[in-house]
Amino acid sequence: MNCIIIEDEIPAQNIIKNYIEKLPNVEIKGVFKAAIEANAFLNINTVDVVFLDINLPDMPGLDFIKTVKNPPEIIITTAYPEYAVPSFELDTIVDYLVKPFSFNRFLKAVNKAKTRLQPLTETEDLNKEGFFLNVDKTLHKITVNSILYIESHRNYITVVTQNQKLTYVDSLKNWVEKLPENQFFQVHKSFIINRKFVDKISGNLVYINQEKIPIGRTYKQKLLKLLGI
C-alpha cells in the first residue's frame, strides 16, 4: 500500500511518518504542505491512501478532496473534531483521526483502508465459488447470486443476502465497479440492487423481498430501460 501525507505542520508530518515507518508494506510516496502541491502530484501519480489535514494553508482539506478526480482512500488527521460529520458524507473518507492520536488508533485507521482496498476474492466463477468478506474479524462466505441489495451509509456498506446482513467499512463505488453490470443496478446514491430479486416497482420505490428501496430521480430512467420497461 502506498500513500502521501498532506500536512502543513512539520511536527505532525514527523509523527505520521514515524508511525508509517513501523508498518510493513506501507510506503510514503510524498509529503506535501499544501493542497495545490498534492494535487499536482496526484494528477500524474496514483496512490492508495492520503493522510489529509483539514486545515491547510491554501484550501480546506474537504474542499481539496472534491477537486481530485477518482480520489484515493482518505484518512483525515486534524485537531478539529467538529468536521467529523461532514467528512463522513464523502464516500472516500476511511477514518477521522483527531490530534493527538496514538499509534494504535492510527493503525486501526490504516487497517480500515486496507480492508477497503482489498478486492473481492477472485475465483473462476464468483456466482458458484463465492468470495469472502472480512467483517468483525470473521470471514463470511457469500455468492454474488445471493446478494439482494447493498446499502451505503456514510463510510459503511451493508451487504444484504438471502440469509445475512454484513456491515463493514467500504464504499458503494467499489461494489459498482466489481459487480456484474447486467445483474446489478445502482438505483440511488446509497443503494445497489440485484435485478433477480426485484418483485415490483411502484412510483419511486423498488420492492425486493418486501423491502422498499428508494429510486433516485437520476437513476430511474436508466433502471427502467435496463429492465426493458
Confidence of residue 207 (pLDDT cuts 50, 70, 90): very high
Confidence of residue 93 (pLDDT cuts 50, 70, 90): confident
Q: What average pLDDT does range 83-99 have in this prediction?
A: 78
List the grid coordinates of 90.
464523502
pLDDT digits (tens, 9 = 90+) for 60-85: 888 888 888 778 889 999 998 887 76
Q: Taking the CB of residue 80, how many other CB atoms lie within 10 A of it?
A: 14
Q: How far apart are CA 213 and CA 205, in angstroms?
A: 5
Collapsing DSSP to helix, strand or coil, 65 comes out as: helix
pLDDT digits (tens, 9 = 90+) for 12-51: 999 999 999 999 889 999 999 999 999 999 988 889 999 9
Beta strand segments in 118-155, E: 131-135, 138-142, 147-153
Q: What average pLDDT does range 128-138 have in this prediction?
A: 74
Confidence of residue 120 (pLDDT cuts 50, 70, 90): very low
214, HSE (Cβ side, Cα atoms, 13 Å): 8
Domains located in the chain, CATH noted: 2-117 (3.40.50.2300), 127-226 (2.40.50.1020)
Closest by alpha carbon to 160, among 123, 152, 114?
152
* pLDDT beyond 70 at 123: no
Confidence of residue 196 (pLDDT cuts 50, 70, 90): confident
pTM of the model: 0.56
Cα separations in angstroms, 33 against 10, 63, 65, 184: 9, 16, 15, 42
Cα separations in angstroms, 3 against 24, 52, 61, 73, 209: 13, 11, 16, 9, 42
What value does the mean pLDDT of the chain take?
Answer: 85
pLDDT at 127: 53
Contact 98, 78 (CB under 8 A): yes
Q: How far apart are CA 130 and CA 148, in angstroms?
A: 15
Phi, psi of 52 (to 5 degrees): -125, 125
List the grid coordinates of 16.
505520521
Q: What average pLDDT does range 152-166 have in this prediction?
A: 90
